[in-house]
Structure 1
Amino acid sequence: MNDDRTLLGDGRYPDTGPLAVGARLAFMGALAAIVIAVFLPPSMVPDFVESTYLQHFAAFYVAALCGLAAMPRTRLRPIALGYLLFATGLEATHLLSGARFGSLVDNWVADLGGLAAAFAPVMVERFRRRFPRPEAES
């Protein structure tokens, strides 16, 4: 059994290792930041980029990466479904405040784009692992 505990090794990483703990804290921080940004008045939310759609994309991209790192044993579908429901619920809260439905759909699509961008490399890597590696020639 390989007991390589380095970050990029193939061995197991401890659940209480600093990176594992940091990933869980980053995950909670990312979700909290999104929720706070949704409920703050627009004048109090800092503009990181000119486009609100890019802000939505980036927020959910970072949150999804943090979530994937924080839950390494959880299957991708439940994580993706949780984020989908989270994004849908947050955008739906704007309907209660009288926001235009069309802009909410655009924001929701940007949220899902960030999620897709974060999940795609993980899914491709899992697909690649299904193919056997050629035996090394001696």
Structure 2
Amino acid sequence: MAQTPDLGEDRTIFGEGPYPDSGPLAVLARLAFLAAVLAIVVAVFLPRWIVPQFTRSHYLEHFAAFYVAALAGLAAMPRTQLRRLGSAYVVFALILESTHLFAGAPLRPLLDNAVADLGGLAAALAPVLVDRFRRRFPPRAG
């Protein structure tokens, strides 16, 4: 039986080497992404009295929902450009918040909700952007 050569790649789940698209964490990330997006859509369209309140602040719930959804999206779509992923979430948030205008909701709370949504998105994407920036600097010679 022939052995495969060791290419020096770490193939463990949390290693640095390549990870298969059908690996368990990749599949779990996609499921988490779908669940997060569906939860947001359902929470937007269900009557307020049905949706459970997780925090005292309505805006913190918006922030947390988009923070979790953005993290799940980053994990589910590792090859997608951050600019494209972020733009899709911005459009998603604005479309969801604007649907309330058709029901006659006042504009001010919807803008506050959208700001909270975008804040959660920014909080999730910022560490990735900072990490990419830091990687551009070569290590200092000893």
TM-score by length of 1: 0.95
Task: Provide the aligned C-alpha RMSD in A.
Answer: 1.0
Partner of 1:27: 33
1:95-110 aligned at under 5 Å gives the runs: 95-110=101-116
2:26 is equivalent to residue 3 of structure 1: no
Map Cα deviations across residues 54-100 of structure 1 (whole Å, 9 max, x no partner): 00000000000000000101110000000000000000000001111
The runs of at least 4 aligned residues of structure 1 exceeding 6 Å deviation read: none
Q: For residues 8 and 37 of structure 2, what CA distance do their matches in structure 1 show?
A: 35
Count of equivalent residues: 136
Q: Which stretch of the first structure deviates more once superposed, 6-15 or 70-79?
A: 6-15
Q: For residues 129 and 70 of structure 1, what CA distance do their matches in structure 2 show?
A: 22
2:120 is equivalent to residue 114 of structure 1: yes
Q: For residues 130 and 9 of structure 1, what CA distance do their matches in structure 2 show?
A: 21
2:76 is equivalent to residue 70 of structure 1: yes
2:63 is equivalent to residue 57 of structure 1: yes
List gaps (5 residues or longer) in structure 2.
1-6
Could you tell me how far 1:6 is from its partner in structure 2? 2.0
List gaps (5 residues or longer) in structure 1.
none
Could you tell me how far 1:17 is from its partner in structure 2? 0.6
**Identical columns (%):** 64
Q: For residues 8 and 80 of structure 2, what CA distance do their matches in structure 1 show?
A: 23
